[in-house]
Structure 1
């Protein structure tokens, strides 16, 4: 069973020990950086992803004040748990969690490195449509999910 739990003083150290595969490191900020960053993002949440009682991943998402849309800023599954279907199930759980919020708009946004084919495949399969590389996106592909 896939669940999400808030990052707190009980689980943050376990969360920062999660790692992507070596070749994926260039595509995502560390969980430590993300946990620090969320302290300054007022409407964002950092969540650990669990399968039963085992932490397998991390996500950071929330309502972006720039465009008033929900954005998924981070999503990762630890290298030990990739390829087991947890990423796909966890990503659907995140989408459903956002879908149920009263303050959401009709779209959910995400961005990723153009060379990150694994992310592109997951996001496309989940229903995201690429909008292209935006001038403000730091060279990342921006994609939109419509509720």
Structure 2
């Protein structure tokens, strides 16, 4: 069963050692940078993705200070565990957490359009492009 767990002293090094495939590196910020970002931007919540006790990935989300909306800043599954359904299961778990907050009703994320598998994943759980572009990332939104 896929679980999202807090980053702790015990799993910190394992989380930062997770990596994506060579052709995905340009699309994904490292977990070390993401965890560091969460220390200077305490609104960011980093979580480890587990299949029971097996660490398979990393996510980070927040209520963005600029617009007051939920954003999924990171989702990555380690290269050894990709194409096994973990990305979709992790995304669904994360959406369950966010959607408990009834004071909001939409979630945003940015994606490189060239990252075809990521776009396909996000669309499969209900995200659609907004037409906005931030840097190299195209913005997607999910209404809930």
TM-score for the superposition, normalised by structure 1: 0.94
1:35-114 superposed matches below 5 A: 35-102=35-102, 104-114=103-113
Question: In structure 2, the residue corresponding to 1:143 is in which secondary structure?
Answer: strand
Shift of 1:132: 2.1
CA offset digits 1:7-61 (Å, max 9, x no partner): 1211110001111011100001101111111111122200000001000000010
CA distance in 2, matches of 1:8, 1:100: 24
Asked if the contact 2:49/2:56 (under 8 Å) is kept, the reply is yes
Q: Partner residue of 2:139?
A: 142
Uncovered stretches (5+) of structure 1, i.e. residues with no partner: none
Question: In structure 2, the residue corresponding to 1:84 is in which secondary structure?
Answer: coil
Moved over 6 A (4+): none
Question: For the aligned residues, what is the CA RMSD?
Answer: 1.0
Shift of 1:86: 1.1
CA distance in 1, matches of 2:140, 2:52: 30
Uncovered stretches (5+) of structure 2, i.e. residues with no partner: none
